[in-house]
Structure 1
Amino acid sequence: MFEEAETGNEMKMPAKETMDADWWRGAVIYQIYPRSFKDTNGDGIGDLNGVTEKMDYIASLGVDAIWLSPFFTSPMADFGYDISDYEDVDPMFGTLADFDRMLAAAHERGLKVIIDLVISHTSDRHPWFEESRSSKDNAKADWFVWADAKPDGTPPTNWLSIFGGSAWEWDSRRCQYYMHNFLASQPDLNFHNRQVQDAVLSAAKFWLERGVDGFRLDTVNFYFHDQLLRDNPPLDTSEMPSTVDPTNPYGYQDHLYDKTRPENLVFLERLRSLLDRYPGTTSVGEIGADGQAVELTASYTEEGRRIHMAYSFDLLTPQHSAGYVRRILEEMNEGIGSGWASWALSNHDVKRVASRWGEGLDLTKFAPLETALCASLRGTPCLYQGEELGLPQADVPFEKLQDPYGIRFWPEYKGRDGCRTPMPWVRDNANAGFSEAEPWLPVAPQHLAQAVSEQESDGTSPLNRNRAFYAWRQNHRPLKKGDMTFLDSDGETLVFTRTYKGETVLCAFNLGTSPATVSLPGLELENLKAPGFTGRIEGTAISLEGLDAVFARVKS
């Protein structure tokens, strides 16, 4: 079990003389969804050995770290986000020895490894829950969120599951309801119980001792619930933020009592204390709190106190005008205080940005532009597998769907499978070089022309333009750690500066398809000639073609 205080006999990991403890600030994180990355054992499902096999490819991208979605032992009701053993690898992904080899391969290439820590809930097949549901007086009876029914037998509160329906499931063994924010097979842990906190911190320590460089914290603001079990009030539908899915009734509540509770801050301080015992480790939290992203990012990532960085869904929406992006960034920069944000335009839960923002556009131009934009914002950028190729969302037919979320809300919402289809490695292969067997999700036919094999030899491909940009970015520190200030510009242009230790880099993007000119009186600029972009500096003005950018050193 996790021990809070160090004893005289406990070995503390030594700090490395050359270690940059703040390496994570502005580092490019490459998210890998292992099920869909590379299959090496012929079962149609990607595995850890597949990640190891492709480590040279990952390193060639110029990223700094990888984030692995869950690979722990699980019945896979939610594809690994329902964990039944926090300290082992599910056989479909390999073994602990396979993980160790993968970790070593990454470290040999200078890559950090961040793993998903899913601790707001477990699988209903986790031994903790099996014991908890067995009676009302067992040793783990209070490890999950249990409550009696109302006198009429209905659930104790009006709380809803993100995956549809009530957040309460009746259990005939205990004759009580248990809480689940997601699937009924994902019961929520009771973080008000100190033993639960100790247990999940012990699991984190297991992986830190193994050498991981940090954690991505799934649903980091969902850990605590209101002990008084108060109903959530309704949310005025006219005030629904852009991140809310209108097809899901979950968005009709103001989630005051089922998540984002103040007690969470104290637990995050305990987690940070553990991480600080392993120099150079980091944490990035997923904040699911519509309308509170700035406030929570500021409090959750307050420097030195809680987690290192956090991301919200504010740039994972259909909204993508220059005005919208500027508003989101300015609000975050003005309100974050000493904290640090992380930004993603795609991940395993949302429609790919090439389709969400780039529909109808030339993806050979759009894809390198959006990745460069994300990597130029103040914060730490995340690149989702396939985003470097400019992959659009796949259309998975209903009969092939695997995602319970999509199956529940079909056809208005098709779920998350369309962004989780197999990585296309080779064009002239039935399964795109992903597997020798039929993949767990079908390969998207439209992805074959964008396979790695097709883009490798084309110097102007999204893949090679992204590689060149990330390599160029490594030499410009303001783009990693600098402050950010927007300059006024018209139309679909975004212009801002990043300043770090007296060095200022100006970044200008044209998100539209028509040429644009931006006047910048009083600035003396030197074109830094970022690879792949053709924007020109003409005196005190910048000229941009459609879907183009320019980066310049500000000399005065």
Structure 2
Amino acid sequence: MAREDTDRIESGDGSHHPGPPRFVTVGEGLINPNGDEMETRDELAPWNLDRNPDGEFVWNVADAPEESTATPTDAPIAEFVPDVPGEYTLVLEAPDGEHELTVRAFPQQADKSGQPRPQVRLEATVDTDRDSDPNRNPNRIQFAATTKLAGSDATADDETQTDLTVEYYIDDRSALELDDRNGIRTAELVEQELEYPVRVYAVAVTDDGRYSIPDAVELDSEPGADGVQLERPFEPPSWVEDAVVYEIFTRRFPDQDDPTFETIADRVDHLADLGVDVLWLTPMLETDRGFGTPDSQGGPHGYHTDDYLQVDPDLGTLADFEALVDACHDHDIRVVFDLVINHTGDTHPFYEAAVDDSHPEHERYRDWYRWEDFEERDADTYFGWDGIPNLDHSNPAVRAYLLEVIDFWAPLVDGFRTDVAWGVPLGFWTEVSDRLRRYDAEFFLLDETIPSDVEMGGGRFHMHHDDVLHDTLESVAAAAVSADGAGGTGRNEEGWRREAEAEAENSDTDTENAVADTFSDMSVDASDGASAILDAVDERARRGTHPDSEWLLYVENHDTDRFLTEHGRDAQQAAAAATFTLPGSPMLYYGQETGLTERREPMNWGAFDAALLEYYHQLCDLRQSVPALQRAAALERVSYEASTKYAVAYARDASTADRAVQSDQTDAEDGPERVLIVLNFSPEPTTVRVNERVSGPDLLSGAQVVSQSDGDESDWERTVTVDSAVVLESEGSATE
């Protein structure tokens, strides 16, 4: 894939307009302070700063609720904290004119913890009631929204719901307005010969002011055209919806005698044979944490960037990287680039200039970073990681440069996974998402936030790391192993966390200690056993995730210890089956399928655990061939009785799904539309009694694991024997 010259990529309509309406909470607003390591940042910023980073930008309040005295800070990239609920109109004075921005501030909540958040789905329909001539074009577009409280199955439209209302907004870049029935006449769109699509937003609001992630519909019309195109701008690319993702630790995956892009390309057959759809490469840019980095500093990981526009020469050239991407594409595998723009390495030339008073570029770059104390050269960092100083995204020059970085890599890959996404302001991600979508509607964005942040959905990222499910799988497995007294390391949950803390005290905390283990424990209460994994899935909705948000499901990654080592083979297989059978996109970390036991050790080419590899082959095959395991299938809780609380049963059902929203994988058409999944995290086999009319062999192993239940069959229809995981075709509940 040769890099071609492309037109300049631009955000929005190409102007400095600051983007779509903003929805915030009184007293919290749009702020981007130092510290707050686990908090999401935000701020007001002109778009397309790569065109004019040195321009003069001034923010003012043009309209505000009565009694408000809130004003933006005096900076091109400003902070703004509304002090009264209501709607504010801000004006950005920019070199290309004045731009208005709506900021809707909702009341501050006394206690938001545990409160379900509203969700909204906006629909646009063509109103033909008043047009009796079928040869004429429809003359009106009607907008309506369905709403619900997160986690509830009940929905209602905004006219009948008593405790939820819907507010509608049109992007401030448009001169159009919604009529009193929340519609737009088609003629208005056509007459204006739009140069930029019109976007309409809906936000659901509770009586006490809790509000949803906004949903949107985009309208476009070509000059002279009679019709209007409707699009859903927040939907993920179709190729991602049922994808199997594979993360490689770039410098440990290839042939260790010659670890290069070329030898990674030589190993792509392994991924294709496994059934991988997306390859996520950990950083491969120029870095001081490449080959030769000791294990005490995390091994050769590359997250300390020294040059954003150069690949690590030890891995090869840019042309070699492009050849690797081509090899993946030849196997129908997409490539995701690990974008690290929250921080640089402390050996980056920009940082070296910033800390050196005698450097000719010192004055320019000292303001590119955040400082706890500049005189002491004490940079703002996360978690005491002194080697990765945080960039200051409130500096227009930083944003301009990062947009150039994004523009450089976007034509070369299929998507970005963004490291420490929570450290970069939300408004910047909104611009990046808009920019990339307008460049390539199929470009994919995956965020890392700890804890996972639903604000990253709805016009920012398509997919989020599901750290809640990951930590719950860890908690369930640790408790199961501890209760049994066998398997894995024999440590209970407190034991392995205490060991992680001890490692941190006696090693370079820069990278040795896993982020997920030390800084985050997002698991739901696992005291009731394996059913907690279903609670973890419910937790996504309770927090108000956007309806189009996808979730990356994983049992381990480059920041965690190996599940196999910590909890044993049976628990690892049960956890893996959970990631392949619950709603979301399963991810494998290199070597998970071949028996690796250390977090970042070289891939064990030529020494695979053949039985384990076959198990993962079966998981991938099932995921891609069974409609009931894909995105459109519903997750159902079922009644069951188990001999251990570390077993759980649930169903996936695609029988009522709209097949049009499923992926176009033709081999999935003939598979079962309902399956029962039974998982067992304990090291010993167990039996589970269910009311499902299951039959046939286990779709994973081919073994016969089902028998008639003894006792009262009206209570329990079948008994299932499970080692770690079984997937069974089901005709539905026996009590229906």
**What TM-score comes out, normalization by structure 2 length?**
0.52
Contact 1:287-1:312 within 8 A present in 2 as well: no
2:460 maps to what in 1? Answer: 306
Select 1:388's aligned residue among 593, 614, 621.
Answer: 593
1:222 maps to what in 2? Answer: 423
1:492 maps to what in 2? Answer: 646
Contact 1:535-1:549 within 8 A present in 2 as well: no
Distance 1:57 1:520, change over 3 A: same
Tell me the distance in 2 between the aligned counterparts of 1:141 and 1:3. Answer: 28
1:471 Cα deviation from its structure 2 partner: 1.8
Tell me the distance in 2 between the aligned counterparts of 1:218 and 1:391. Answer: 24
Tell me the distance in 2 between the aligned counterparts of 1:197 and 1:530. Answer: 50
Tell me the distance in 1 between the aligned counterparts of 2:403 and 2:652. Answer: 37
Tell me the distance in 1 between the aligned counterparts of 2:236 and 2:395. Answer: 36
Contact 2:457-2:546 within 8 A present in 1 as well: no
1:52 maps to what in 2? Answer: 265
CA deviation digits over 1:356-377, x for unaligned, max 9? Answer: 222xxxx3x5554432221112
1:202 maps to what in 2? Answer: 404
Gaps of 5+ in 2: 1-7, 16-195, 197-234, 478-529, 658-672, 709-716
2:626 maps to what in 1? Answer: 476
Tell me the distance in 2 between the aligned counterparts of 1:91 and 1:463. Answer: 33
Matched to 2:269, the amino acid is D
Matched to 2:315, the amino acid is F
Matched to 2:675, the amino acid is V
Residue 36 (str. 1) matches residue 261 (str. 2) = no
Contact 2:11-2:432 within 8 A present in 1 as well: no
Gaps of 5+ in 1: 13-18, 149-170, 224-263, 393-417, 427-450, 456-460
Tell me the distance in 2 between the aligned counterparts of 1:528 and 1:469. Answer: 15
Contact 1:534-1:548 within 8 A present in 2 as well: no
Matched to 2:682, the amino acid is G
1:374 maps to what in 2? Answer: 579
Tell me the distance in 2 between the aligned counterparts of 1:527 and 1:200. Answer: 55
Distance 1:525 1:85, change over 3 A: same
Equivalent residues in 2 for 1:137-152, closer than 5 Å: 138-148=363-373
1:535 Cα deviation from its structure 2 partner: 6.0
Matched to 1:197, the amino acid is R
Which shifted more, 534-543 or 189-198?
534-543
CA deviation digits over 1:305-331, x for unaligned, max 9? Answer: 110111143344441251443332332
Contact 1:205-1:274 within 8 A present in 2 as well: no
Select 2:316's aligned residue among 75, 85, 94.
Answer: 94
> SS in structure 1 opposite 2:367?
coil
Select 1:285's aligned residue among 447, 452, 455.
Answer: 447
Contact 2:700-2:727 within 8 A present in 1 as well: no
Task: Give the percent of matched residue pairs that are identical in Structure 1 and Structure 2.
Answer: 26
Residue 519 (str. 1) matches residue 689 (str. 2) = yes
1:470 Cα deviation from its structure 2 partner: 1.0
Distance 1:84 1:494, change over 3 A: same
Select 2:11's aligned residue among 4, 13, 20.
Answer: 4
1:194 Cα deviation from its structure 2 partner: 3.3
Tell me the distance in 2 between the aligned counterparts of 1:6 and 1:543. Answer: 58
1:495 Cα deviation from its structure 2 partner: 1.5
Contact 1:320-1:357 within 8 A present in 2 as well: no
Hey, which of these two has a bigger chunk of strand by percent? 2
1:63 Cα deviation from its structure 2 partner: 1.3
1:246 maps to what in 2? Answer: none
Matched to 2:624, the amino acid is Q
Contact 2:279-2:336 within 8 A present in 1 as well: yes
Residue 425 (str. 1) matches residue 620 (str. 2) = no
Matched to 2:705, the amino acid is R
Distance 1:129 1:2, change over 3 A: farther
Distance 1:488 1:193, change over 3 A: farther
Q: How many residues align?
A: 411
Select 1:319's aligned residue among 475, 478, 483.
Answer: 475
2:726 maps to what in 1? Answer: 549
2:120 maps to what in 1? Answer: none
> SS in structure 1 opposite 2:238?
coil
Contact 1:32-1:69 within 8 A present in 2 as well: yes
> SS in structure 2 opposite 1:346?
coil
Structure showing greater radius of gyration is 2
Contact 2:651-2:675 within 8 A present in 1 as well: yes
Residue 331 (str. 1) matches residue 539 (str. 2) = yes
Tell me the distance in 2 between the aligned counterparts of 1:146 and 1:545. Answer: 55
Point out which structure has higher relative CO (alpha carbons under 8 A, 6+ apart): 1
1:463 maps to what in 2? Answer: 613
Tell me the distance in 1 between the aligned counterparts of 2:719 and 2:239. Answer: 32
Tell me the distance in 2 between the aligned counterparts of 1:100 and 1:484. Answer: 40
CA deviation digits over 1:458-501, x for unaligned, max 9? Answer: xxx11122113312321123312033233344422222222344
> SS in structure 2 opposite 1:101?
helix
**What TM-score comes out, normalization by structure 1 length?**
0.68
CA RMSD after TM alignment: 2.9
Matched to 1:507, the amino acid is I
CA deviation digits over 1:158-186, x for unaligned, max 9? Answer: xxxxxxxxxxxxx6xx5553212153221
1:202 Cα deviation from its structure 2 partner: 2.2
Contact 2:470-2:553 within 8 A present in 1 as well: no
1:341 maps to what in 2? Answer: 551
Contact 1:510-1:546 within 8 A present in 2 as well: yes
